[in-house]
Amino acid sequence: MKMLNITTVINEYQFNELSEDDQKLVENAKTITNNSYAPYSKFSVGAAALLDNGLIVTGTNQENAAYPSGICAERTTLFYANSQYPNNRVVTIAIAARTEKGFIDMPIPPCGACRQVMLETENRYKKPMRVLLYGEKSIYEIRSVSDLLPLSFNASAME
Ligand code: THU
């Protein structure tokens, strides 16, 4: 037996330690949570994607009475960005979430399906996509989606 170790690097920041650009992106993710449609979970999620042309595209989670028909903020945002600007890669995506009590303390962990979609976006443009996960107490920066989804399924597995 051989043990394989996978290491994930996460940089933890306080809001005021972020660059001005990152602060702006996080603020966009926080503000857009106001447009979330989450009558069932009451968990409002916002995402803001910075494209390589400087544009910021935002999106939110959209729920449905038939629960699986809803979609997370990350996928809303990335599918929209890739639909409208297929030639502009996403450099950084920031994600924020709040309950009825306010923004959550710890950085929002994206669900598995969103990690898979984020990875596809990263692989599609062949450059690392940075991820900023907002929490009131700290913010995590992950420099590549591959760190969020080790041992991932991707196109190379089908070769
Ligand atoms: N949700 C997101 O939009 N992003 C995440 O990273 C986690 C979960 C949404 C899905 C659903 O509308 C609500 O949050 C509760 O799961």
Query: How far does the centroid of ligand 1 lie from the alpha carbon of residue 72, in Å?
Result: 5
Is the pLDDT at 155 greater than 90? The verdict is no
Residue 9: band (very low, low, confident or very high) from pLDDT cuts 50, 70, 90: very high
- The enclosing H or E element of 44 equals strand 44-51
Residue-level pLDDT at 154: 86
Q: Please give all residues whose beta carbon lies within 6 A of any atom in ligand 1, as ranges.
A: 38, 41, 43, 45, 61, 63, 70, 72-74, 108, 110-111, 114
Q: Is 151 left (phi over 0), alpha (psi -120 to 50) or beta?
A: left
Percent of the chain with pLDDT over 90: 94
Q: Where are the domains of the chain?
A: 10-148
Q: Rounded to whole angstroms, how far apart are CA atoms 135 and 126?
A: 28
Pair of tokens at residue 65: 């009475």
> In sequence order, what are the beta bridge partners of 99?
102
* CATH code given to domain 10-148: 3.40.140.10
Percent of the chain with pLDDT over 70: 100
Mean local confidence (pLDDT), 97-115: 97
Active site (annotated) includes residue 74: yes
pLDDT, tens digit, for every residue of 113-135? Answer: 999 999 999 999 999 999 999 99
Residue 110: band (very low, low, confident or very high) from pLDDT cuts 50, 70, 90: very high
Q: Rounded to whole angstroms, how far apart are CA atoms 49 and 134?
A: 14
Query: How far does the centroid of ligand 1 lie from the alpha carbon of residue 9, in Å?
Result: 24
Is the pLDDT at 23 greater than 90? The verdict is yes
Residue-level pLDDT at 144: 97
Nearest CA, atom 8, ligand 1: 72
- The enclosing H or E element of 102 equals strand 102-103
- pTM for this model (two decimals): 0.96
